[in-house]
Structures are given as C-alpha cells and as structure tokens.
Chain A
Amino acid sequence: MFKKILQSLSKSQAAKVPAAPVSKPAAETPKPGAVLQKISKAAAPAASQTPEEMCEIAPKMPKDQIHARLKLLYRRYNRSASSLDPKIRQEADTMLDAIVKVREKFFGEI
C-alpha cells in the first residue's frame, strides 16, 4: 500500500553538488549532535502564543486527541531537549513547559 521513494536532502534541497566519485569514502563521518544537516529549523514558538496555540490544540479537540497530541509533542521535545545546540534546547524547554501546562489544564495536576 505504501510506496517509499528515496529522497536525499542534498539532492532535493540544497544546490546540486557534483556526484561524488565512487572512490571517495562512502559516508561522511557522522557526528552525534553535530549533525550533517537538518531538514530545516523547526519554527520557534512565538512568545505571545498561549500554551494551547503552541501545542496546536484546536478549541474543540476531543480529549483523546489532545492526549495523543501531547504524547507526540512530549516525545519530540524531550528528545530535542538533549540537543547540543543551546538554542534548540531552549526552544524545547519552552515547548515542554507549554505541554505540561496544557496537560494540567485538560487532565488535572499530578
């Protein structure tokens, strides 16, 4: 049912670079943290937004959807919170705060 087509970032996004000759090392040395490339920076949440807006929780969203959304966001931003880039880390922290606030609002305090 699913057809998966390879998409290389350097081909689909950046200016075309000449094809690497086969004799060159097959992979650039990966560096955890210092990544080769990011698809694009995630948009920073605006300071004026409410926690719900930051988490993209629509006004009439059913509770189970809110729950699922928060779960996804927590997983996502908890991971970015360990980035080596302080800016990404700061953004993640702001988002985690918003996620907790929305959770407390809809599901009560712990």
Chain B
Amino acid sequence: MAEYVGIDLGTTLSGLAYLKSDGNPEIVPNSDGERLTPSVVFFEAHEDVKLVGSPARDGGEPDRTIFQIKRHMDDPEYLVEIDGKKWTPAEISALILSKLKRDCSKIIGDINEVVITVPANFNELARKSTIAAAEMAGMRVKRLVNEPTAAAVYYAHSQGVKGRILVYDLGGGTLDVTILQVEGDNIRILTSEGARHLGGSNFDDMLLAAYAEQYTKQTGAPLYNDERHRRRVLLATEDAKKMLSKLQRVNDTVANDKNDGLARIDLTRESFEKLIRQMLTRTVMLVEQALDSANLKAADIDHVVLVGGSTRIPKVKTILEKMFGKTPKSCGNVDECVALGAALFAKKSARIQEVCNASYGTVAMVYNAKTGEEKLMNSVVIPKNTPIPCSRTQVYQTSEDNERVIEVDITQGEDEDAKFVDIIGRITLEVPPNRPKGCEVAVTFSYDENQRVRALVVDKQSGRSREVAVSYKGAGVLSDEDLKRKSAHLRTMRIE
C-alpha cells in the first residue's frame, strides 16, 4: 500500500505522486505510459466505457467529451448531460481520479488516502466537491492543500531554501499568485491572489482567432464550421504555442474539413508575445496586487518560483525577471511540482499558517465626524489575508427608533463599494421595544483553520445574540447516502 500520496487534480492535466522510502516524492505514470493525465473524459457510446486522458482528448466527438471540468467546480447549477444522464462536476472529476487511482495502484500498490491540491481561491463548494469526487473514486482525503503551497513545499524541499517566496502559477485556466514565508517545515502564507479564466487556454483561443483570420484571408472560406473541427485546430494552435517556447519561428499549415484548401501560417515568437501581451499585463497586475496585499515591495521577495505549464513561455520569465530584478526559478518540472509537493505534504505535515481567503463584513452607513461625510459602504470586519484562526469584532449602531428586528447583512468581498461585494447571508435578531436609535450592536466574525466562517451578532443593551455558520450547505453538496451510492456505482464502471 502506498502510504503518502498526493494528487494534483488540474484543469488541463492531473498527476499523482507518492513518497519513496528515501523521503523523495516521485510521479507515478498512468497505464498509457504518461507521467501526467489530461483532465479530459470521453463518454464512449458503443462500449459504455469512459475514456480518461490523452485518448479522450485526441478522440473524436466534442459533445461527448468533457474538457476543463474544474472550471465549474464552484457552480452549484452546472451539469453535463450525456445520453440523458446528468453529471455534476464532482462526478466527472471522480472519473479522472478513478483512472489515476486504478492505473497508479498497479505500480505503487493500493491507494486509500490522499492529499489533493486545490487552487488557493477555491470556494467552499468547490472544496467540498473535490473531497466528494475523491470519495466517489474510493479514496479518503487526508487533507486538501492549496496548489501554490504544495509547489512551495516541493521547492523548499528540493532546493533547501528559506525566506519569502512568491509562487507564480500560470496553468491552463487560472493564475494563482501566492506569497509565503518558509522556515524549514514552517510555512506562513502571507497572501494568495487568483485570477480565473486567465491561463494557457486563453492564449490558444487567441492563436485560434489568428489562424481563422489568416485562413479566411488566404482561401476565402471559414476555418471551421463545427465544434469538432474547432477542437482539432485548437489542439494544433496549442502545439504551435508550445513550439514557440523553444523556437523563434514556427510554420504551420491548416485546412478546414470542407476541402477549401490549405493555408500557410507563419508565426514568430515576437508576434505571439504581442498577441498575449495584454493578458500578461493582467498577470503582472495580479502580482502587484499580491505584493500590495502583503505590504511588500518586489525587493522584499527572496525567491520567485514558477509553476504551471504556461510559465514555459519565455516572455513570462522575462517580465518577472524585470519586475523582481532576479531570475525566477522553476521548481523542476513546472507541471509536476504541485503533485510532488502534495506527496511531501502528506508525510511532512508541514506546519502551515494559512490566511482568510476572503473579506467578510456588513453593510453600514459610515459617518466621518471630521468631514461630515456619510457613505453607504461595505464595512469589512475581517479582512482577507488575516492569519487564521482569528476573530474580529466591529460595533455598529441601530438606525431607527423603536426598531424591533435588527437585520445584519453578511458580505463577502473587500471592495468598499457595496455594489461590488456579495451579500451571502442575513442575520435577524429580535430586540426589546421602545428603544431609541443608536443602540450598539456588536458584529463578530470568526474564521477557523478549515476556512469556515461564523458570524455572531450581539445586541449590547439586551444581551441577546445570534450566531450562524456562514457555510455553504446549498445546492451541489451531496448527502452522505448519495455519496455512498454514487461511489458504489462508480466502482462498477469501465474507466480507462
């Protein structure tokens, strides 16, 4: 039995690593002989088999092929329908995890307990869905760990470094920037910022648009008319993109599937860099935001660590080098280090001090006595990046005479402007009659190690209080029974 196993369940690629007896982690290949498994599932119609990985990615039918399911893990309403059966993102992910478990256990023995990595900014539903997916696939989740943390654990282990590390993880679908302080096995997260929908697949899309334009220019015909062919060209643009990380110039030819002829595509690294420049500027702004959140300057960072397949793009390295005045380091293989770090984590149980991954507060009219200004705003009680566990209180006043019920909106988000935050709950508290306005109400938020938030409202005069868990129990979360049933069902499926 493999004791310490880590899994990187990625948007584009997934990988599994285990800890060898010498204490070093190693990637375990799948049965197709690959170190990493594309996170793609194909529902074969004739043989009732689910193909996972490269055969699924390269095979034919787009409406039976599921790509990038991870992008939907936080959406309680998202379902994939195949042959009249509806699949949740957790169930699709369970198929990917099943393949990893089945394939890898042939090499390292039974896999029962794992550490799985998630993006730092995954919300509670997405985290719960990830745990459910593993359970459906027959594995117990020892712990979830944030991807950048896992990468930093591996980097620190393999390079033996300490100090302030900025991890820049640009993958297929997302960018994660995390700053952490590493001293031996002690890790303190200083901040974690993420951008969704910013990653390598955006670059593929941009290249695809350029290909399509060139094709029409040269042949007068559209490059693709259906999803199947679009997918095929998209794979070609991804290949060209990867080549441009090595070569200055790539010549490609493309055709549509209607015999309208070939078009020649000449790509240079320079033109590709120009194409994606504005996207890369967005990534720079996220790095600046992370530095800002941690109250640090670029010079305060000791190591810049590159994670994610898209950091192979040379321009990414150059802009970070310019920004930090030092060469960013890859932690070995950029798309394997998250899984490797997770395997280390399973054993080392590094001591990690995490932070709140969102701001919580309430809506208040704030009067500034000095300037006489008043403003309706989102009043943050617990700011993002506060080390957890933690608890913070703010005292507010009631707004009306003879108010019988106090209502406190619970906001999530850091913007002062309440238009840009989410109201995710409301606490109501009945109070005694005949009181003037201006009675004090204390609002406390507390945050535990598992990123669980509680809100407490106390009416100071009457002493009445009310506490609620600001946790997600809504749509998309499975009951234990459902989970067991689905897990049993999954074991009967043919997954290859």
Contact = CB atoms under 8 A, between A and B. Distances in A.
Interface of A: 1-12, 19-22, 24, 26-42, 70-71, 74-76, 78-82, 84, 89, 93, 96-97, 99-101, 103-104, 109-110
A110 B399 contact: no
B409 A8 contact: yes
Nearest to B78: A84
Contact of A29 (B398, B407, B419, B474): B474
B159 interface: no
A61 B419 CA distance: 25
Interface string B72-104: 001111000000000000000000000000000
A2 B369 contact: yes
Interface string B274-307: 0001101110111011001000000000000000
A75 B415 contact: yes
A27 B76 contact: no
Given A4-B366, A7-B376, A30 B419 contact: no
B410 A74 contact: no
Given A8-B407, A75-B414, A104 B394 contact: no
A9 B365 CA distance: 11
A69 B285 CA distance: 13
A103 B424 contact: no
29 contacts: A1-B368, A4-B366, A5-B364, A5-B366, A5-B367, A7-B364, A7-B376, A8-B407, A19-B404, A19-B405, A19-B428, A26-B427, A26-B429, A26-B468, A30-B472, A34-B475, A35-B422, A37-B423, A38-B419, A40-B419, A71-B292, A74-B289, A75-B289, A75-B414, A75-B415, A81-B195, A82-B121, A84-B75, A103-B281
A6 B319 contact: no
B197 A81 contact: yes
B217 interface: no
Interface residues of B, number: 78
Question: Which are the 8 A-B pairs with shortest beta-carbon distances?
Answer: A8-B407, A30-B424, A30-B425, A82-B196, A35-B422, A19-B405, A27-B468, A3-B367
B245 to A, nearest CB: 18
Given A26-B427, A35-B424, A110-B280, A4 B414 contact: no
B311 interface: no
B268 interface: no
